[in-house]
Chains A and B, each alone.
Chain A
C-alpha cells in the first residue's frame, strides 16, 4: 500500500439522526465495537419539528477506515445523512470551554490579560477565582488552557467540536 493510504488523518463528520432513545448509544457502540477513535463527539437537537439531532464526531484513521466509518454510520437505521466536512470543502469549526482559574495578585491579573488577548469572557468571578468562557478552534482552546496552567488553572469543561460547511450549501 502507498504511504498515503496508510496515513491517519483527522476528519470531522456530521451525522443527522432521528432524535430517539438509543441513537447515541448506537453511534458510540459502533465506534467502540469496531475499534474506531473518537476524539470529540457532540450532540443536540437541531430540528425539533422533525425531531432531528445533529451529531458532530471528530475521528481519525486511514482513508479506508474513514470510508468504513461513514458507511457504517450510514447503515444505522435512524441515520438520515452522513457528511464528511473535512472532505466537503472549507468549514467553520468551533468549540466552547469554561475554564476556572484560581489565583491572587499578579497571576490573577496576568490571567485576565491573556483572556483579553484570546477574547475569552469572564462569566463568573470571586475574590480569588475566575470562570472564563472561550470560543474557538480546538487548537486555540488548547493554547489558552496551556497558558492558564501556571496561573492557577483549576478546572476545565469543554463542549467538543461543532462544525458547519462554509458557503450556501447545506448537508
Chain B
C-alpha cells in the first residue's frame, strides 16, 4: 500500500474508471453528495442526470444491452434506492449486467430509522444477482471490482453497492482491479466435451430438429450470434428465437421461423410441438414460450445449453444439459460437426421442411388491411421498410400489444439492436432504455416503439432527452387503450373492459413541444409514410403519435393454459376455443 490515502468517493470514481466506465446514469441526494462533489471535479466519467431513478436503471439497461458493457447507476439512499428497484428487477429477469451504487446513511445511524434510510441491501437482495454494504473505505475499491466481475460474468445481472456516507467521505487506500480475484464465484464457461459429443450424435440422427435460441446468445457476445448463424447454415436446421433472442439469427434468413411463444409464429410453435430434437441455446423454457407444460413438445429429445446450471431442468426436464458459455459451446459443436464431415442432409430433412413450409404458408402474421384506419401492424411494417437503409437502427419498446407487433413485424438481423423488457414486462422501460442506447450510440437511429399508456410511465425522461440533445424517436401506437389488457378482457372476461380505457390522455404533439422535441401525428393510413419520413428528417427528439385501430388484437396467440398446437390465428378462432379454468388463473 504505497499509494496516498484517498477519500471513498475518489476511490469509487477511480475504480469505476479502471473498470472502463465512461457514463453513469444518476440522480443526486444527501447521501451521495460527496460522490457528486468528486464527479464535479473530474471529466473522464460523464454523468447523465435522469428525472427519476427508474429511468436511470432502464437507461443503464439500454446502454448495457446495446454495447455489451456493464451499465452504471448512481442514486441516493432511501427513495433513490427504492425508485431503482423496478429497474434492478427488470435487469435480473433479463440478465442485464448493471452496477448500481446507492447512497446510505452513515454507518453509525444504520438501523435507527434515520432520515432517508432504507434497508437497501435487504430490499434488493431478491432483485439483484448480488449486493454489498460497504462498511470500511479500505474495502471499497475491492468491492467495486468484485461487483463488476459478478455483474458481467456467468449469467449477467444487476449488483448493488450500498455506500454509507461516512464511508464515501472517509480515507482509505486504493486496490487495483488486478489484485482482486474471487474465491467462491467462478462460473463454468466451457461445456463438457463428452456431453457436447453426445449432443452432436443426437443432431446427426435427428429427422425433425429445431434450434430454439434466446437472450443468452446475445449476452455471450456478437461472436456467439455469428457462430449460431454459421451452425444453422452448416446443419440445415430450422431456427426460432425467443423475444429476448431476436437478432441473434438474421430475421431475413429462410431458415428462421420467426419468434416462438405466446405471440410467436404458427410455424415456430408448431415446429416446437412436433420436432423430434430440440436444441435450446441460451433460453430458459419460460412459460411465455412453453405454453401448457404437460403438452410441451411431447415427442422430442431435448438438449439445453446454458451458462446458468439452475436454468437446466428447471421447468422442463432435458436429455442433455450442457453448462457453459453458449458462444464457446457453439464453437465446439461447429468444430465437431465439421470434423464428422456432416453436411445438411437435405434428403432426411426434406419432409420436415415440407411440413414447416405448410405451416408457414398459413401466413399467420397477416392482418386485414384498411384504407381508412391505421392498422398497428401496418405502421410497424412501414417503419421497418423506411428505416432499412439506415446503417444502425436500435429499437426499444414499452410493454403491451405494440411490443409484440414490433417483435413480429420489425426484422432484426443483428444482435444488440433490440431492447425490450421480456421477463418482467415493465411498462415504462422503452423511453429511458432508448435514451441509454442513444447515449452509447450518439449517431445511431434509436426508436422507442411505444404504447400510449406505457410511455407515460416514464415520460419525465423526455426532459433528460432534451437536456442532452438526444435525437431519440418515440413512435407511439396510440390505441387509447391498455391494448393488451383490453385484449385479455375481450378473450377471458366477457368483454368487460374494466379500467383499461384511458381518458384524458395528453396531446402527445403538444407534450413533445413542451419538452423541446418535435411532435407529429398520423391519423390515416396514407399519412404514415409521410410522418415516418418527416420523423427521420428531424435531427432532434421526436414523438410521433400514430392513431391506430383501437380494437385490433395481437395474433397469433397461444391462450393461457393451451398448447403450442392450439394457437389462435385470428379473431375468427376465438369463439371455438373457450379458455380452460386452469388457463384463467395463469398470468
Binding site for B on A (CB under 8 A): 5, 17-18, 21-22, 25-26, 29, 33, 64, 67-68, 71-72, 74-80
Q: Given A25-B125, A26-B125, do A78 and B309 touch, yes or no (CB 8 Å)?
A: no
Q: Known contacts A77-B184, A78-B184: does B313 contact A64 (CB below 8 Å)?
A: yes
Residue of B nearest to A64 (CB): B313
Cβ contact within 8 Å between A68 and B310: yes
* Residues of A close to B121: CB separation below 8 A: 22
- Asked if residues B125 and A22 are in contact (CB atoms below 8 Å), the reply is yes
Beta-carbon contact of A72 and B310 below 8 Å: yes
Given A77-B129, A77-B150: A71 in contact with B310 (beta carbons within 8 A): yes
By beta carbon, the residue of chain A nearest B182 is A77
Report Cα–Cα, A51/B348, bound state, in Å.
59
Closest to A81 in B: B184
Docked pose: A78 CA to B226 CA in angstroms: 34
The answer to whether the Cβ of B308 comes within 8 Å of any Cβ in the partner chain is yes
Chain B residues with Cβ below 8 Å from A71 are 309-310, 312
B373 at the interface (CB under 8 A from A): no
B314 within 8 A of A: yes
Q: Closest approach, in angstroms, between the C-beta of B498 and any C-beta of chain A?
A: 30
Asked whether, in the complex, the Cβ of B133 is within 8 Å of the Cβ of A21, the reply is yes
B-to-A contact residues, CB < 8 Å: 121-122, 125-126, 129-131, 133, 150, 183-185, 308-310, 312-314, 317
Inter-chain contact count A-B, CB under 8 Å?
40
Flag if A75 contacts B309 (CB, 8 Å).
yes
Complex CA distance for A71 and B184, rounded to whole angstroms:
14
- Asked whether A64 and B317 contact (CB < 8 A) given A18-B184, A72-B310, the answer is yes
B183–A80 touching, CB < 8 Å: yes
Chain A nearest CB: distance from B162 CB in Å?
11
Min Cβ gap A6→B in Å is 12
Please indicate the chain A residues that have their CB under 8 angstroms from the CB of B131 in the complex: 22
Which residue of chain A has its CB nearest to the CB of B131?
A22
Task: Report chain A residues within 8 Å CB of B129.
Answer: 77
When the two chains form their complex, are residues B125 and A74 in contact, meaning their CB atoms are under 8 A apart? no
CA distance A17 to B131 in the complex (A): 15
Task: Decide: A77 and B125 in contact? CB cutoff 8 A.
Answer: no
The interface residues of chain A lying within 8 Å CB-to-CB of B183 are 18, 80
Question: Are A74 and B309 in touch, CB under 8 angstroms?
Answer: yes
**Chain A residues with CB below 8 A from B133, complex form:** 21-22
In the complex the two chains form, what is the Cα distance from A65 to B130 in whole Å?
23
Chain A residue with Cβ nearest B125: A29
**Is the CB–CB distance between B122 and A25 below 8 Å?**
yes
Q: Which 3 A-B pairs have the closest CB atoms?
A: A71-B310, A77-B130, A80-B184
User: For residue A17, which residue of chain B has the nearest CB?
Assistant: B184
Say yes or no: A75 contacts B310, CB within 8 Å: yes
Chosen A-B contacts, 30 in total, with CB atoms closer than 8 Å, are A5-B317, A17-B184, A18-B183, A18-B184, A21-B133, A22-B125, A25-B122, A29-B125, A29-B126, A33-B126, A64-B317, A67-B313, A68-B310, A68-B313, A68-B314, A71-B309, A71-B310, A71-B312, A72-B310, A74-B310, A75-B309, A75-B310, A76-B130, A77-B130, A77-B150, A77-B184, A78-B184, A79-B184, A80-B183, A80-B184
